[in-house]
């Protein structure tokens, strides 16, 4: 059978109670605050990226809308310009006919007078 091992008595009694150490608590609190700060910075960076992405999406949407409005405006202006050109052309043709008629009639009147 095994003989019991004799443990020498401790020369100095050991205190096994755990008391909070002010320097340890301060270090832990500092580390916790640093982690919270990093987490907040990360959250802020993510929010900034989301905000930039939203701004870019809105900017692209407004650019497309503006381009469509410009195209519509140009179409309307071109149609108006074309209508005015057609009117001017028909007026020119009318004037040309009147001038041709006048050119034929005027010499006849002049001959009749002389």
DSSP labels, the chain: -PPPPPPPPPSS---------HHHHHHHHHHHHHHHHHHHHHHHHHHHHHHHHHHHHHHHHHHHHHHHHHHHHHHHHHHHHHHHHHHHHHHHHHHHHHHHHHHHHHHHHHHHH-
Mean pLDDT of 15-23: 64
Q: Answer yes or no: is pLDDT of 110 > 60.
A: no
Q: Quote the pLDDT of residue 26.
A: 85
| Residue range 26-69, pLDDT digits in tens | 889 999 999 999 999 999 999 999 999 999 999 999 999 999 99
């Amino acid at each position: 059978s095994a003989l019991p091992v004799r443990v020498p008595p401790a020369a100095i009694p050991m205190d096994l109670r755990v008391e909070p150490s002010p320097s340890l608590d301060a270090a832990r609190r500092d580390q916790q605050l640093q982690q919270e700060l990093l987490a907040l910075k990360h959250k802020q960076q993510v929010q900034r990226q989301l905000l930039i992405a939203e701004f870019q999406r809105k900017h692209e949407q407004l650019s497309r809308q503006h381009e469509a409005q410009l195209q519509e405006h140009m179409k309307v202006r071109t149609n108006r310009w074309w209508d005015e050109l057609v009117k001017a052309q028909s007026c020119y043709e009318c004037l040309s006919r009147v001038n041709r008629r006048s050119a034929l009639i005027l010499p006849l009147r002049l001959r009749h007078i002389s």
